[in-house]
Amino acid sequence: MSAPDLFVRLPSGKSPLIPVPSRTYHTPMTRPPWPYDREFKCHRCGNCCRGDGYVDMTESDIARAAQVLAMTRQEFLLAYCQYGSDGYILRDQEDEEQSCIFLTNDDGLAGCRIHEAKPEQCATFPFGWRPRNVMQFCEGMRAVARLPKPARSSMTPKK
C-alpha cells in the first residue's frame, strides 16, 4: 500500500496529513474520527453507486427492500441479486459504468429506487466505512478537501 493511498491533505489551515481508514468492502471497520465528516454533503454524483465494488445484502436488507418493492424474498433475489462468494450481493445494471441495479438518474443527480430501504452498506457510506480510495471518486469528500471534481464526475443529465 502506498502513502498516497493512506493519506490525504486537509484544507489549508488544518493539520497537515491525516490517515484515511483502509477498508475493503468486506472488512468491518471501527470508524475513527474524521474532521471531514462535519462538512461533508453528498453531491449525488453517483460515483459510489457505479464502478468496481458491490453491495452486500444482509437478510435484513433483503427483507426491507423486498417489502418496499412489494415482492417476496424469493422474487427479490431472483430479480435483483446474485450469489457472491460470501452471500447475496446486488446485481449491476447492464451498462458500461457498472451501475447499481437501483441507481436512477434524476436529471443528472443520482437517486436510489429503494432509498427508504437502503442496504446498510449504502446507508453507512461514507461515515460508517469508506474504501481507501474514496477521495478519488467521491465528489462530496473532494469538495470538503477543496479538490476539483473527480475524473468521473456527475451523471449526465438525460436528454
Is 138 one of the binding residues for ligand SF4 (CB under 6 A)? Answer: yes
* Cell, residue 10: 486537509
Rounded least distance, CB 58 to ligand SF4, Å? 20
Nearest to 133 by CA among 17, 3, 6, 42: 6
Is 131 one of the binding residues for ligand SF4 (CB under 6 A)? Answer: no
Is 99 one of the binding residues for ligand SF4 (CB under 6 A)? Answer: no
- Residues 7-46 within binding reach of ligand SF4 (CB under 6 A): 42-46
Give the residues across from 19 on adjacent strands: 7
Q: What binding mask, one character per residue, do residues 48-87 give for ligand SF4 by CB under 6 A, x or -?
A: x---------------------------------------
Give the residues across from 8 on adjacent strands: 18
- The span of 10-18, 21-29, 61-69, 133-141 binding ligand SF4 (CB under 6 A) equals 133-141
Distant-in-sequence contacts of 21-24, Cβ < 8 A, 24+ apart: 21/129, 21/130, 21/132, 22/132, 23/129, 23/130, 23/131, 23/132, 24/131
Binding site for ligand SF4 (CB under 6 A): 42-48, 110, 126, 137-140
